[in-house]
Amino acid sequence: MFQNTSLSTFLLLEFSDTRELQILHFSMFLILYLTIVTGNIFIISAVAFDHSLHTPLYFFLMNLAVQDLCSVSVILPKSMINFLLNTRHISYSGCVAQVLLFFFFLSSDFFLLTVMAYDRYVAICNPLHYEMVMNEQTCIRMVVTAWLAGLAYGVLHTSGTFVTPFCSNVVNQFFCEIPQLLKLACSDLHLIEFAVVVVSVAIGLGCCCFIIVTYVHIFTALLRIPSMQGRQKAFATCLPHIIVLSMFLFTGSVAYLRPTSDTPSYLDLIFTMIYSMLPPLLNPVIYSMRNKAIKKALSKLFSGKHCSLNMLSRLK
């Protein structure tokens, strides 16, 4: 599938050549990674172990947490290893895998957020038919479709990126990012990836239009709810999704649609870090802060562990 075999390695962005600063960057990335992993594992554990959360909304939320966890695991560990070992190298196959997996999880995130908008639409606009429409088989099919669509996008973009030979192996980013790789192309074959991007933008806009129309119907239905308490409860289930979706679309659009500089740029680095790390970092916080059921499940989970530890200590 990938024809370029002239390069064996790529050189990623070097934050600093000072050893002390490299250790500092490693420590910062390690703290950030552990925070993201911990937050998303909490969400996954809460949904998996609390039977009251075995509903479509939390099933989708658990898959979102898995995708966020996987997306940062594709890029951050390699960067941390490079900081620790004072190197910039990533193998050609490693770069291909990074692009494929990162875009796979990123695209799956977006498709799943679209599915979640439909779930909220059915729950609020057709509550009497919710259990029939969003049954277990339908939810599984939706999630599988989101994952498969993300995989197809990952393969499509990776093929479009690596089909061309590269004139340089210096990537001005801390991981193999598609816009930075396309700048290294030394033939017009990069137009293939441009065509893929155009198609992707068209499909993305279609999903965005679907989400906007969905929420227009949702807010119209919310205004018809006579009870203020019922209206606030319904809105509370939509607000985290709106925040997460807006953050995802804004940061991703800025990072991928803005022109990248030809030299290492702090602005490029900042935007990349925002869209690749901010949503996985904040998603668990947003959903747990605005969701009493998640808080309750986490409280039960921790209290259960605490009780188990007390019992073990007494047995000893």
Our count of domains for the chain comes to 1
Residue 4 lies in a domain: no
Three-state DSSP at 277 gives helix
What pLDDT, on the 0 to 100 scale, is given for residue 59? 94
pLDDT digits (tens, 9 = 90+) for 50-107: 888 889 989 999 999 999 999 999 999 999 999 999 899 999 999 999 999 999 999 9
Tokens 């939509």, located at residue: 238
Residue 315 lies in a domain: no
What pLDDT, on the 0 to 100 scale, is given for residue 191? 63
Q: Which of 106-110, 210-214, 287-291 has the lowest mean pLDDT?
A: 287-291
CA 177 to chain CA centroid, Å, is 15
Q: Is the pLDDT of residue 309 over 60?
A: no
What pLDDT, on the 0 to 100 scale, is given for residue 98? 96
Q: For the chain, what is the mean pLDDT?
A: 83
What pLDDT, on the 0 to 100 scale, is given for residue 63? 95
Q: Is the pLDDT of residue 40 over 60?
A: yes
What pLDDT, on the 0 to 100 scale, is given for residue 121? 92
What pLDDT, on the 0 to 100 scale, is given for residue 311? 40
Residue 316 lies in a domain: no
Q: Is the pLDDT of residue 190 over 60?
A: no
Return the top range by mean pLDDT from 76-85, 188-197, 225-234, 270-279. 76-85
Q: Is the pLDDT of residue 313 over 70?
A: no
Residue 299 lies in a domain: yes
Percent over 70 (pLDDT), the chain: 88
Residue 244 lies in a domain: yes
Q: Which two tokens stand for residue 141?
A: 């099919």
What pLDDT, on the 0 to 100 scale, is given for residue 287? 77
Q: Is the pLDDT of residue 124 over 80?
A: yes
What pLDDT, on the 0 to 100 scale, is given for residue 228? 79
Q: Which domain holds residue 213?
A: 9-309
Residue 247 lies in a domain: yes
Domain of 64, CATH number, reads 1.20.1070.10
- CA–CA distance, 264 with 14 (Å, rounded to integer): 9
What pLDDT, on the 0 to 100 scale, is given for residue 302? 76
- CA–CA distance, 186 with 144 (Å, rounded to integer): 37
Quick one: three-class SS letters along 75-121? HHHHHHHHHHHCCCEEEHHHHHHHHHHHHHHHHHHHHHHHHHHHHHH
How far CA 166 is from CA of 3, 174, 191, in Å, comes to: 11, 18, 14
DSSP state of 13: P
What pLDDT, on the 0 to 100 scale, is given for residue 164? 78
Residue 241 lies in a domain: yes
Residue 2 lies in a domain: no
